Structure formats: C-alpha cells, structure tokens
A and B are shown apart, each in its own frame.
Chain A
Amino acid sequence: MTTLLLALAVAVPTAAAANGRSLYAENCLSCHGVAGQGVLSPSHARGVLGVRGLGPSLRGVGALSADFYLRTGYMPLIRPDVQPSRKRSPYSEAQIEALVSYVASLGGGPAIPTPHPERGSLSDGLSLFTASCAGCHQVVAEGGYVTDARVPPLEHDSPVRIAEAVRTGPYLMPRFSRTQISDRELNSIVAYVQGAKHPDDRGGWGLGHIGPVPEGLVTWFIAAVALVAICILIGGREKT
C-alpha cells in the first residue's frame, strides 16, 4: 500500500502537491499561514486545542527543512511556544512526501541533502564535531542542555537527518552554511555521528558514554554495595 502510494506520489507530483496542499491546510495553516507565508504575531486562527497560531514563513525553506521537521516528528507542533520534541510522525510516508513537495513548491529552497559518510574521515569528524557541535550535543552525541532548552541525543538520527539539521538549524541550533562547513566536512561530521552510535567500547560496558555521572552510580550502587555486603558477610553484627 505504502509503495503504491509512494509510486503514485513520484509518478504524479501534481497530485501529491495537491494532496499536500489539503494536508497543509488541515494541519499546518493555523501557524504557518496561508501558502506558507507565516504567522508572525499571534493570530486569531485557532489550531488544535484552541491554541492561537504563530509560526515562521515556509517560503524558501525548501524540501530540506520540511523533510527534517516532519520526519523527526517536530512538526506538527501542538503548542507553538514549546520546544519541539522527537516523536513518531502522525503522518504516513506518503503524506510526508506530499507535504514536503508542497512546502518545496512554495518558494524553492534547498533540496533534501544526500550526505556520503563513507567519504568522510572520522578524525576530521571528531575535530569538527568538537568545535561546532559538542558544546550542546556532548562529545559522543549523547545530548545535553543549553539554557532554556534540551538538546537531543543523536543516537537515532540517520545521515540525512544530521545533514538536514546542520543546514537548517532547527529551533535554537545554529545553522551552518556551506562556507562554514563544506559538504566534505559535513560528510566527516555525519560519519562521526554515525560512529558515535556504536563507540569503541573496548573498556567494557559503556555506561551511556556520558562520563562521571554513571561512573559514580556504578561506584556506589555496584562497588560500594558489593563491598559493604562482603563486609557484613565477613564481620559480625552487633547483638543488642
């Protein structure tokens, strides 16, 4: 069924765009405005749960942004003033395709990138990631905190998603242009992030790769508990 719809969407782009338009009207319009012009001050249009619409223009953001936001589940966003979070998209594959091509048709913009992590270098990736990404995402991409927002870990993100995020700068994330991070460098970053999903754990159980906090938990809840138990086994207990 999905493949059939996919085939249809590819074969009949106008139909997909038309489908996309109606999906857009139902689900996106209250915040992103008519034909993606954006709603820059709280509108009277009320969306889901009666929330007033507010959202950026989608003209010129291209398929890249739409693909990223829809596939991460960031959009649809119920309340425009909260941080979008990862969730399963409520849309089917075909619906996402339709919405993406509709948004792309609103005013051009970048296409969905095709990164080539196999062409990247892991060590360049580590350097670049440390310089531009680790401050928020943590050096092994386990996620973190930036004032007022939560930074997602990248454990589930595909190469395309990473590349899209770098070029879009979703929510509070900076947007990195090609002059700053070239496509070649992006390949290395993507390769590094993919590698960081399965880091080199030659030391044993990896403890989530976030350093001393879980190590402290192991110290107390495994080592100290075991040793106290041994002490109790060896030593006497006071009879009172």
Chain B
Amino acid sequence: MIRRLVRFVDERSASAPLVKKTLRYLFPDHWTFLLGEVALYCFVILVATGTYLTFFFEPSIAHATYAGSVEQLRGLDVSRAYKSAVDISFKVKAGLLIRQTHHWAADVFVAAIILHLLRIFFTGAFRKPRDLTYYIGLTMLVLALLEGYLGYSMIDDLLSGMGLAIGYSVLMSVPFVGANLAALVWGGPFPGKQASESRLYVAHVLIFPVAIGALIGLHLLLVAARHHTQFRGRRKTQRKVVGVPAFPGQTPRSLGLALAVAAVLFLLGGLVQVNPIWLWGPYHIASGTNGAQPDWYLGWLIGALRLVPGFDWTIGRYTLVPNAFWGGVLFPGIVFMFLFLWPWAERRATGDRAFHNLLDRPRDRPWRTAIGAAMFAWVFLIFIAGAADRVYVLFGISYQAQIWVFRVVVWVVPIAALLLTKRLCDELRAREELQSRRSQAEHEAALASEPAA
C-alpha cells in the first residue's frame, strides 16, 4: 500500500530522493524554536478564516440602513462595510465564530512573531549566515502590523474610524510630503473618495497577505538551506547540526503544535468576545468615544502619541514636523531602524564577520543583551503608557500624573535596564567561571592526591 503510493508519486514526479531527504531533514529540539511555527500556524488560520469572511464582507462606504437582529442598531444610517460586518456576526451562521477567531489569530500572530524575534535577537541567531533570514522576518513583522491595522480599519465601526483618522493624521505628519502621501492613499482629504475603502480592502485581502505569504516561503527556504542554529552542547558544534528528523520525530510534534494553535484560537473565537463592533456602533466623522484604542500591537504607538508634549515644529509658515510625526512615525521608525541595523552595528562594533551556527547565551554577550533589554524596556513602557487612561478609570491614579511620570521613566528605566542587565550578565559569567575553576582545582587536587594514596 505505502509502496504503491510512493511508487505512484515517484514515477510521476521523480521526487523520491527529495522526499527522502526532506523526511530526514533535522529539526531543532528546543522549545524556543517553535515560536516561529506558532506564528506560521496563526497565519494559516488567518488566511483560512479571512477567506471565509471575504465571501460576506462588502468593502463599501455607501450608505445603508441596518435592519438586523441587533436592536440598538436598527434603523441607523451605517456604511455597507459596517452593516456587512455586523451581518457576518449575526446573520451568517458560525460567522461570529470565524470573525472572532480571525481577530484573535491576528492578535496572537503578532505576539508569536515578537516572542520569536526576542529569541532570535537575544541569542544572536541573526548573525551570518542568517542575517538575510532575519531581515525578511522583520519585514514580515512590519507587514503584519500594517495588515492588522488595515483589517481593524476597514470595518468602519466607531473605533475603526477613529483609528483610521489617526492613521491618516500620522501619514499627513510626514515632513514635506505627508499631504501628498495621504492624498495618494485616500484620494484626497480624509475620509477620501468612495474608492478608499476598496483600497484598504484590496491591500488587506490581497497585497499584504500575498506579500507575507511569499516572504514566509523565502524565510523557510533560507532556514532550511542553512539549517537551524543550536546552543553549544554535547555533539552540537559549529560544524555538526544535531536534531530530530522531520519524519517520524518532528511530524507529530509540529502537527500537534499546529492543532494546538487552532484549538486555542477557535476556543478564544467561540468563548471570548473580541472587537464587538455592534456595541461600538457605526463611525461618523463627528463622533468619538472615550478610551478608543488600537489593537494591542499598535498600543506602543498610541502611547507615544499621547506622551509627546504639545508642539508642532514650525519654520516660518511651514510646519516642518507636525506633532503626530514623533510618536507615529519617528518612534516606530527608530525601533525598526534599530532592529534592521543591529546586525550591521554589531559586526562593526565587534569586528566579528565569522560564520555562526552556534547560538550565544544572552549572558555571554552582555552588551547586546543589555542594549536589547534597554530597547525593550523603552518600547514596553511607552506601550504601557498607552493604557494610562484605563488605569485611571480602574485604579484612580491621575492621568496627567501618569503621563508626567512616564515622560521621565521611559528614559530613566531603559538606562537602568541597560546597566542592570550588563551587570547581571557579567556577574553570572563571573560566578560560572569561579565555579568551573573551583571544580577544575578540585579535580586536579583529586588527581594529585591519588598517587599519594
């Protein structure tokens, strides 16, 4: 039976040698290597659920009157986009499950990418020969953030419209050419031409997913071509890769993980409500709600937008740097610039241009670890600052006081994190060295005492 199948395929595709090689391809056996896989499976679920949603979603801001089962929306003037999204939730059977699973999958997708990125960064997995793989991964992170934002924005509920207005303003804030860029995207001043919704839509369901999918392919191809990295260990050296073969060892593991990702996402999709657009109501340019927030993965940007003190940088009658630029463009720009330039910067600083198949333990690269920790603390604190208004509502800590505290701590804490991490790494290493020296001495002492005995 197996033989017949294999023969059938081989005779037609001449693939037996390749399949044999693939089945015995070695996978790393360390849990942190599975984080990227989690992101991959989220993407698969995003594509599957997203495709389903496109069968029902109507990307149009033409007017419609809602007449469905949500009483508080009945008779309201809404856009067709909003109406169809609410209808997906309540008219299409299982639609709400798929919509919510799609949303959760997006939230988890970015979370998994970031965990994966942290592992890659702090273990030095981005070094030659895997720098290109790393750049592709970062590009996918940028695309994933934009893709999520587009999905959130095209539904045209109250939060989505407010988010879109902010996105428009951030684009407008780009020095010199902001208005031209915004005009290109929206076809004119916000909310733009009727076509702007189609533009968001086609970007969300075609351009970005295809780009991400293609980059995933490239990413995996490069990973497979150079094999995985590994921590130094028994048998694991710069030249020998150790691992579990794809078949049979890795297959049930990866399959199990894929199924577990699906399980978590569908359970969330069914049990935990996400983005209840029927509660937010439709967006109109003149309306707004307190506590409007983007999805979590853009929370760092709303934090930055809120922390910047109120000024536009002007030169005569021209506004060189509108305020939203600092938090909305410059801040993420610096963060991604840092991530993209780090491999090069580290090469410059250390002069290390060698080929690396072995990972570093974070403590063995104190400066990288410390700078990474500082950067992380910076972004994380600004992210937290984005929720200061909710903290005020829940815990009564004055918003203005929080903002002023954050304006200080986002600079102080990263510096403290830098110094502390550096110190911690150094001490860990010193302790290890001491220990190994002691055990070596004991060993020698034992050896020395033996002949005497």
Direct contact of A and B (CB under 8 A): yes
- Using a CB–CB cutoff of 8 Å, the interface residues on chain A facing chain B are 122-123, 125-127, 130-131, 134-140, 142-148, 150-151, 153, 192, 195, 199-207, 209-213, 215-216, 218-220, 222-224, 226-228, 230-232, 234-240
Are A134 and B288 in touch, CB under 8 angstroms?
yes
B267-326: which residues lie under 8 A (CB-CB) from chain A? 268, 270-276, 278-281, 286-296, 299
Q: By CB atoms of chain B within 10 A, which of A135, A136, A216 has the most?
A: A216
Are B75 and A123 in touch, CB under 8 angstroms?
yes
- From known contacts A216-B296, A227-B112, infer whether A138 and B291 are also in contact, taking CB-CB under 8 Å: yes
- Using a CB–CB cutoff of 8 Å, the interface residues on chain B facing chain A are 29-35, 38, 70-76, 89-90, 96, 100, 104, 107-108, 111-112, 115, 158-159, 231, 233, 253, 256-257, 260-261, 264-265, 268, 270-276, 278-281, 286-296, 299, 387, 389-390, 392-393, 396, 399-400
A204 to B158, CA, bound (A): 21
Are B111 and A219 in touch, CB under 8 angstroms?
yes
How far does the Cβ of A64 sit from chain B's closest Cβ, in whole Å? 25
Pairs of residues from A and B, 9 with the lowest C-beta to C-beta distance, nearest first: A216-B296, A144-B290, A203-B273, A235-B31, A139-B289, A122-B72, A236-B29, A231-B34, A219-B107
A209 to B277, CA, bound (A): 10
Q: Which residues of A contact B32 (CB under 8 A)?
A: 231, 235
A122 touches which one: B33, B71, B257, B288 (CB < 8 A)?
A: B71
- From known contacts A223-B104, A234-B256, A235-B30, infer whether A123 and B299 are also in contact, taking CB-CB under 8 Å: no
Q: Which residues of B contact A215 (CB under 8 A)?
A: 107, 274-275, 295-296
A216 to B275, CA, bound (A): 11
A151 to B389, CA, bound (A): 10
A218 to B89, CA, bound (A): 21
A223 to B271, CA, bound (A): 12
Q: Secondary structure at chain B's binding surface: helix, strand, loop or mixed?
A: helix
Q: Which residues of A contact B390 (CB under 8 A)?
A: 210, 213
Q: Which residues of B contact A206 (CB under 8 A)?
A: 273, 276
For B159, give the chain A residue with the smallest CB separation: A211
Are A230 and B257 in touch, CB under 8 angstroms?
yes
Q: Which residues of B contact A200 (CB under 8 A)?
A: 70, 72, 276, 278-279
B273 touches which one: A144, A204, A212, A235 (CB < 8 A)?
A: A204
Are B293 and A236 in touch, CB under 8 angstroms?
no
- From known contacts A134-B289, A224-B111, A238-B231, infer whether A204 and B272 are also in contact, taking CB-CB under 8 Å: yes
How far does the Cβ of B233 sit from chain A's closest Cβ, in whole Å? 7
Are A219 and B72 in touch, CB under 8 angstroms?
no
A217 to B287, CA, bound (A): 27
Q: Which residues of B contact A218 (CB under 8 A)?
A: 268, 272, 274
Q: Which residues of A contact B392 (CB under 8 A)?
A: 145, 150
B287 touches which one: A134, A231, A236 (CB < 8 A)?
A: A134
A148 to B38, CA, bound (A): 43
A200 to B274, CA, bound (A): 13
A143 to B272, CA, bound (A): 22
Are A202 and B108 in touch, CB under 8 angstroms?
no
- From known contacts A144-B393, A223-B104, infer whether A203 and B268 are also in contact, taking CB-CB under 8 Å: no
How far does the Cβ of B84 sit from chain A's closest Cβ, in whole Å? 17
B276 touches which one: A143, A153, A192, A199 (CB < 8 A)?
A: A199
Are A234 and B31 in touch, CB under 8 angstroms?
yes
Q: Which residues of B contact A232 (CB under 8 A)?
A: 31
For A203, give the chain B residue with the smallest CB separation: B273
7 contacts between A and B (CB under 8 A): A123-B73, A130-B287, A140-B279, A204-B270, A205-B273, A237-B30, A240-B233
How far does the Cβ of A154 sit from chain B's closest Cβ, in whole Å? 12
A144 to B390, CA, bound (A): 7
A205 to B75, CA, bound (A): 27
A232 to B290, CA, bound (A): 40
A211 to B392, CA, bound (A): 16
Q: Which residues of A contact B278 (CB under 8 A)?
A: 200
A212 touches which one: B104, B112, B296 (CB < 8 A)?
A: B296
How far does the Cβ of A90 sit from chain B's closest Cβ, in whole Å? 21
Are B274 and A224 in touch, CB under 8 angstroms?
no
